[in-house]
């Protein structure tokens, strides 16, 4: 999947996302830690971020991530949409996410 640079780090509900092939990451004590080599920064994901990262083991639609999180955590869909979109946009900005807008 090729990253759509025109999105400027923003991710929409209709997008398909996947971990960037160039991402350097590990799971340590149940948390995902991502290294961005450009600036040698470590990013530690919380429980929800780690779960979303796990769901992106291959290309997946953002809508599907939202549905799974709503079902697993029993939270309201509007809150999950906002949180997931914000989180994915942050991952895109650091280069850890590939984004492809689909119809």
Percentage of residues of the chain with pLDDT beyond 70: 90
Under the banding of pLDDT at 50, 70 and 90, the label for residue 93 is very high
Band of the pLDDT at 9, cuts 50, 70, 90?
Answer: low
What pLDDT does 103 receive? 66
pLDDT in the model for residue 39: 82
Q: How confident is the model at residue 23 (pLDDT cuts 50, 70, 90)?
A: confident
Residue 103 makes CB contacts below 8 A (sequence gap 6+) with 14
Q: Which of 69, 61, 48, 70 is nearest to 18 (CA)?
A: 61
List the chain domain ranges. Answer: 5-101
Question: Rounded mean pLDDT of the chain?
Answer: 89
Contacts of 2 by beta carbon, 8 Å cutoff, 6+ apart? 98, 100
- Predicted confidence band at 86 (pLDDT cuts at 50, 70, 90)? very high
Q: Mean pLDDT, to the nearest integer, of 34-57?
A: 93
Single pTM value for the model: 0.85
Confidence of residue 72 (pLDDT cuts 50, 70, 90): very high
């Amino acid at each position: 999947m090729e990253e759509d640079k025109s999105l400027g780090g923003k991710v929409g509900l209709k997008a398909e996302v996947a971990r960037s092939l160039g991402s350097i990451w590990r799971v340590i004590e149940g948390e995902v830690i991502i290294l961005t080599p450009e600036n040698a920064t470590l990013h530690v994901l919380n429980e929800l971020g780690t779960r979303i990262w796990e769901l992106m083991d291959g290309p997946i639609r953002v809508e599907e991530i939202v549905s799974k999180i709503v079902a697993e955590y029993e939270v309201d869909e509007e809150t999950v949409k906002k949180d997931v979109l914000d989180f994915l946009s942050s991952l895109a900005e650091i280069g850890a996410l590939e984004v492809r807008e689909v119809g």
